[in-house]
Amino acid sequence: MVSFTLNGQQKEFDGDPDTPLLWVIRDAEKLTGTKYGCGVAQCGACTVHLDGMPRRSCVTPISMVDGSEVITVEGVSGKEADAVKTAWAGLDVPQCGYCQSGQVMSAVALLQMVPKPTDADIDGAMAGNICRCATYHRIRAAIHNAANSMEG
Amino acid sequence: MKLKLAFTGLAAICLFVGAGMALSPASIAQNAQGGTKPDGKTLKPAASFQSITNQQQRSVALFQEAGKVIQHPRCVNCHPATDRPLQGATMHPHQPPVFRGDGGMGMPGMQCTTCHSPQNTPVVGQADTIKSIPGNPAWHLAPIEMAWVGKSLGQICQQIKDPARNGGKSMDQIVEHMAHDELVGWGWDPGAGREPVPGTQAEFGELIKAWVDTGAACPAS
């Protein structure tokens, strides 16, 4: 039995301990904001926060999550999340939107660690989140806008 | 997941020394004459170099044998000469693009632990060429002063002996590091879909210890 918190709620999972966290989130907990993209940690669509750090849920066995705190796009909160939400809407960042859950989770984590990121910081943190609509310029601009909005 | 291990050694992924450990029967390929032949998967035992009477030549030969491990992609990929690790048997730049960051642990928001676990993790994805995500509790890059990419075995040998480029280690500490470092040992257990380095960590450790005991001579190139 694996016990963990998901968006602040206590959860247990008693299935195969090798089950990827992604499928526990989507299939068992029915939170479908976190997306399956590649299944091999190459695209970033499945990014969640595990104990406060960004983590690809598709390559995270649920056994590894025992005792940990998982936050998904449905539950992410705080000033960085608020700033990202506002900035994302302000620039119409998403196009098809499939990757955006992962983009948002990575962006929030970056801002939590680096409140005023440079372009290089953004490239370093976001390079693993692929967008097939190539909204990268808007993503970068929105992260800067979010950072600026938190300064006041 | 909160491991932030200080890099305390001649980094990365491949070296070991142990004494008196028996060779696995499978570790030596026997030829028709009853001798051994290189097959890319085994290491010649340290004792087999006793036939080289010149100590310096024996020392060089021991390190050259150990070099089969040291220069394997499993080891070199995480001793990059830039801030980006390499990946796979072809030693291509790591995908997704990741960079060294503090302590070789990656960049803020994209650390090694964003994808790598404390253990190798089989994947159930759709890519036939990716069977598992490699992992280890100490997963990180070797410091830049320990870069091996682009260097000859002789240059790597000199580097390993240089305290300014080996994490301040004595030769005894080098032997210990090669023998027991957990991340070094990952090279022999790299996970599904990845070729392990030759031999065993014990055999490799014996080679390094014998190399040190014979004066730690380096190949000319």
Q: Nearest residue of B to residue A57 by CA position?
A: B115
Is B76 among the domain residues? yes
Query: Count H helices, E strands: chain B?
Result: 6, 6
In a domain, B121, yes or no: yes
Phi/psi at B30 (5° precision): -90, 135
Asked whether residue B13 carries a pLDDT value surpassing 80, the answer given is no
Query: Is the Cβ–Cβ distance between A74 and A7 less than 8 Å?
Result: yes
DSSP letter assigned to residue B103: G
In this predicted model, what pLDDT tens digit does every residue of A83-127 receive, in sequence order? 999 999 999 999 999 999 999 999 999 999 999 999 999 999 999
Tokens of B74: 């499993």
Residue B14 sits at φ, ψ, to 5 deg, of: -155, 50
User: Which residue segment(s) compose the domain that B199 sits in?
Assistant: 45-213
Contact B115 A56 (CB under 8 A): yes
pLDDT at A152: 67
Q: Give the least confident one: B17-21, B37-41, B83-87.
A: B17-21
Which residues of chain A does B2 touch, with a Cβ-Cβ cutoff of 8 Å? Answer: 51
pLDDT at position B118 over 80: yes
Evaluate whether residue B28 is within a structural domain: no
Local structure of residue B109 (DSSP, 8 states): T
Interface contact A104, partner B, CB < 8 A: no
The chain B residue lying nearest A38, using CA atoms, is B125
Q: Write down the mean pLDDT value for chain B.
A: 85
B205 in any annotated domain: yes
Three-state DSSP state, B133: strand
Contacts of B101 in chain A (CB under 8 A): 124
- Give tens-digit pLDDT for B63-97: 999 999 999 999 999 999 999 999 999 999 999 99
Write down the CATH number for the domain with range A2-71: 3.10.20.30
pLDDT tens-digit profile of A59-81? 999 999 999 999 999 999 999 99
A79-151, CATH topology level: DNA polymerase; domain 1 (1.10.150)
The mean per-residue pLDDT over the stretch B154-168 comes to: 97
**A150 touches B: beta carbon within 8 Å:** no
Domain for residue B30, yes or no?
no
Per the CB < 8 A criterion, the answer to whether A61 and B116 are in contact is no
| CB spacing of A121 vs B108 below 8 angstroms | yes
- Is residue A130 less than 8 Å (CB to CB) from chain B? yes
What pLDDT is recorded for position B7? 36
Q: pTM of the predicted model, to two decimals?
A: 0.87
- B122 SS3 class: strand
B117 touches chain A (CB under 8 A): yes
Domain total in chain B: 1
Query: Is residue B46's pLDDT more than 90?
Result: yes
Give the pLDDT confidence score for residue B8 in this predicted structure: 37
Cβ of B101 under 8 Å from any chain A Cβ? yes
Residues of B in contact with A52 (CB under 8 A): none
How far is the C-alpha of B99 from the C-alpha of A41, rounded, in Å? Answer: 16
Encoding tokens for residue A117?
């990121």
* DSSP assignment of chain A: -EEEEETTEEEEE-S-TTSBHHHIIIIIS--TTSPPS-SSSSS-TTEEEETTEEEEGGG-BGGGGTT-EEE-TTT--SHHHHHHHHHHHHTT--SS-TTHHHHHHHHHHHHHH-SS--HHHHHHHHTT---TT--HHHHHHHHHHHHHHHH-
pLDDT at residue B4 is higher than 50: no
Cα–Cα distance, B211 to B217 (Å, whole number): 7
- The minimal CB distance from B109 to the residues A39, A58, A109 is found for A109
Domain boundaries along the sequence of chain A: 2-71, 79-151
Indicate if A79-151 has the same CATH topology as A2-71: no
Of A135, A122, A104, the C-alpha closest to A35 is A104
pLDDT of residue B125: 67
Closest residue of chain A to B132, computed from CA coordinates: A40
**B33 lies in some domain:** no
Alpha-carbon gap: B134 to the closest alpha carbon of chain A (Å): 10
